[in-house]
Amino acid sequence: MRKCLSLAARFGLAAACLAYALWGVDFHRLGQALAGFPAWAMLLYAVTVLASALAPGLRLRFLAGDRISPAGGVRACLLGLGVNNVLPARLGEVAKAAYLCREAGLSLGQSLEAVFWERFFDLSALLVLGIAVAALLGQGLLLYPLLAIVGGGWAFLALLRLRPAAAHACLRLVPGERLKLFAGEMLTLFEGRLRAGFLLRLAAWTALCWTGFILTFAVGLTSIGGRPADPTMILTVFAVTTLGFALPAAPGGMGVYEASAVLALGWFGVDRDQAFALGLTMHMLQYIPITLAGMGVLAVSGLSLADLRRRAQTPGL
């Protein structure tokens, strides 16, 4: 019952966002806008989207202690993104951890620890970008939930570094002995990483990844949409659409991405027809190549979608 309610809420949010994005859109003009996008620009953007997985793959290799090849790191990232595009509940992170277990010989705890650091630093980067964009626009972007999550995470990591006994005492709140043991293993792994050298190197890798994401987005916005290369507009639209992706909605951010693009592009005078057409096109050119690449990795990995669902329901995963 709870699962059904969760799915209904996710798809309800996606439907509401899609309704907002399409509100007042002239479908004749929308069709003209979609037909007017140059094919070469769409192909360039699709290729650039796939290439943007290189830096995250190398970062994942760093997090795995170089126990996976650069190509293996890229495949793991594509697998995670592809699975997230077709399954709810961020099962792509489970897929990535399972792939690391197989390809890098890591334990389940080590694999999930690598995925945690990757996702946590991505959320931290998104928060920094959101604050920067809010400052540029002179208005808030409703960053309080993200600030609470990221700030709470950093506060707990600080507690683990400075008062490890107090942090481990929180394990008493974890239900079930098996889950408690697994959580204790994860805390021990986190504690071993809390060194300035590791955090600074991970921050540098994350900055490289997000620079690539922003440049990729800029390629799509300027070449497909013909928008000017305005850093404020690029950063703002990128930040808002990425924040939309962070919402727990339908797989692949369907509906949410388009609504976010319409909202952000509207701040820069782009009408709803053009904004929706551009948001939809860029979303599909992200979604389709990444999903196909991720499913290709899944097909040769020995894993399956059913296996990933089972792993996600296993206590301690």
- List the domain boundaries for the chain: 29-299
Which of 181, 225, 195, 196 lies closest to 41, judged by CA?
A: 225
pLDDT band per the 50, 70, 90 thresholds, residue 133: confident
Residue 42: how many CB atoms within 10 A of its CB?
Answer: 17
> What is the rounded end-to-end Cα distance, in angstroms, of the chain?
21
Q: What is the pTM of this model?
A: 0.89
Tell me the CB-side half-sphere exposure of residue 97, using CA atoms within 13 A: 24
What are the structure tokens assigned to 289, written together?
């190549």
pLDDT given at position 50: 96
Q: What is the pLDDT of residues 99-124, one digit of tens each?
A: 999 888 888 889 999 999 999 999 99
Length of the chain: 317
